[in-house]
């Protein structure tokens, strides 16, 4: 900290002017009289104060977005769209996730063209997005799961419920993927994928007109560990190999590459290439623990649209301060 920085007279004046302008809402003219300056000088001081960052304007509201950050994200990453919710005055990660989910629901509702088929993953975040969607948010959107996980999930049915909920609220049908997320043996996985019922769903998923998914961090709190697909040790091993998190059940490193091809081979769901080639792939990611995976996803083109919180967005932009 530079304790002894020189503060020149104009800087002080600009602060006095700002106080009178923003706190006392006097006109620049009145301030001019008070400080014995012309009103033009006051205007310039004010502009200077803004430019130096002494004036901070925050919009404090759960639905507030950070348009300037969104713009920077779009420009820096080539995303089609970026939605960044403000974290001003937020207590914890939970509130942040809720706000982000709300924003994702809003985005989905306003999405044009309306997707005929929407491929979705499952998890806490997606579940919350479903909750925030309003009845009738669209008409005739069919929903299809893009990765396995229904049966083994501890709170059985959350994954299915998410898909059904989203479809129902859009007066469409839900198609579930009746398969575990990860199988123990490659042969089992190949067998299940060749099953007509499963193959049909995967084909539908591959042909979806838009995707909506979240991502998980790579640690012992991951949903895949929680659901019993992986042990904490297995995840720790993946981390050693460079994993930063998972997306549709597949663990990737910071460059967006599959970390463990063998494991990946046993994972049921669409391929990452599908997401990379999709015209609309919406990633919804919030919370401090997901900065790394968010960065990896955006950096490697796994989504075209990112819905996230301000801190995650700034982490992606490399703006730690």
- Indicate the length of the chain as a whole number: 321
Nearest to 235 by CA among 226, 256, 255, 149: 226
Q: Is residue 240 within 8 Å of residue 248, measured between CB atoms? A: no
DSSP 101-170: HHHHHHHHHH-SSPPSEEEE--SHHHHHHHHHSPTTSSSS-EEEE-B--TTT-SSTTHHHHHHHHHHHHT
3-class state of residue 168 by DSSP? helix
Alpha-carbon gap, residue 245 to 267, rounded angstroms: 15
- Of 9, 68, 135, 194, the one binding its own copies (CB under 8 A) is 68
Subset of residues 84 to 143 that bind its own copies, contact rule: CB under 8 A:
88
Q: Applying CB under 7 A, does 205 fall inside the site for DNA? A: no
Q: Applying CB under 8 A, does 144 fall inside the site for its own copies? A: no
Residue 39 interacts with which of its own copies, DNA, none, CB < 5 to 8 Å by class = DNA
Taking the least distance from each CB to its own copies, the nearer of 167 and 286 is: 286
Q: Is residue 284 within 8 Å of residue 211, measured between CB atoms? A: no
Residue 44 interacts with which of its own copies, DNA, none, CB < 5 to 8 Å by class = DNA
Q: Applying CB under 8 A, does 185 fall inside the site for its own copies? A: no
Nearest to 268 by CA among 164, 190, 153: 190
* Size of residue set near DNA by CB under 7 A: 13
Output the smallest distance, CB 305 to DNA, in A. Answer: 30
Output the smallest distance, CB 28 to its own copies, in A. Answer: 16
Alpha-carbon gap, residue 258 to 272, rounded angstroms: 9
Alpha-carbon gap, residue 121 to 198, rounded angstroms: 16
Subset of residues 13 to 72 that bind DNA, contact rule: CB under 7 A:
21, 27-29, 37-41, 43-44, 46-47
Q: Is residue 209 within 8 Å of residue 277, measured between CB atoms? A: no
Residue 38 interacts with which of DNA, its own copies, none, CB < 5 to 8 Å by class = DNA
- Choose the stretch contacting its own copies; rule: CB under 8 A; options: 21-29, 186-194, 217-225, 297-305: 21-29
Residue 59 interacts with which of its own copies, DNA, none, CB < 5 to 8 Å by class = its own copies
Q: Applying CB under 7 A, does 242 fall inside the site for DNA? A: no
Task: Classify strands 243-247 and 250-253 as parallel, antiparallel or unpaired.
Answer: antiparallel
Residue 41 interacts with which of DNA, its own copies, none, CB < 5 to 8 Å by class = DNA
Q: Which residues bind its own copies (CB under 8 A)?
A: 7, 11-12, 15, 18-20, 22-24, 49, 53-68, 88
Q: Which residues bind DNA (CB under 7 A)?
A: 21, 27-29, 37-41, 43-44, 46-47
């Amino acid at each position: 900290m530079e304790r002894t920085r020189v503060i020149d007279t104009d800087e002080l004046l600009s602060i006095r002017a700002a106080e009178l302008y923003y706190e006392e809402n006097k006109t620049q003219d009145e301030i001019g009289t008070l400080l014995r300056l012309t009103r033009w000088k006051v205007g310039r001081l004010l502009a200077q104060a803004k430019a130096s960052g002494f004036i901070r304007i925050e919009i404090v509201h759960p639905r507030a977005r950070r348009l300037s950050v969104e713009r920077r994200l779009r420009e820096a990453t080539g995303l089609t769209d970026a939605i960044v919710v403000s974290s001003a005055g937020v207590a914890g990660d939970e509130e942040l996730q809720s706000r982000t989910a709300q924003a994702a629901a809003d985005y989905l509702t306003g999405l044009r063209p309306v997707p005929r088929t929407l491929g979705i993953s499952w998890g806490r975040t997606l579940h919350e997005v479903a909750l925030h969607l309003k009845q009738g948010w669209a008409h005739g959107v069919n929903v299809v799961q893009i990765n396995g996980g229904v049966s083994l999930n501890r709170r059985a049915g959350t994954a299915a419920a998410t898909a059904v909920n989203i479809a129902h609220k859009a007066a469409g049908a839900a198609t579930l993927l009746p398969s575990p997320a990860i199988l123990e043996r490659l042969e089992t996985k190949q067998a299940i994928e060749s099953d007509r019922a499963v193959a049909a769903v995967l084909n539908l998923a591959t042909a979806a007109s838009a995707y909506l998914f979240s991502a998980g961090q790579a640690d012992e709190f991951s949903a895949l560990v929680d659901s019993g697909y992986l042990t904490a040790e297995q995840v720790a091993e993946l981390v050693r190999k460079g994993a930063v998190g998972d997306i549709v059940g597949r663990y990737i490193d910071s460059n967006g590459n599959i970390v463990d091809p063998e494991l990946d081979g046993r994972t049921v769901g669409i391929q990452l290439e599908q997401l990379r080639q999709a015209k609309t792939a919406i990633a919804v990611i919030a919370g401090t623990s997901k900065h790394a995976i968010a960065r990896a996803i955006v950096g490697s083109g796994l989504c075209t649209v990112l819905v996230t919180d301000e801190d995650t967005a700034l982490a992606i932009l490399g703006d730690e301060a």
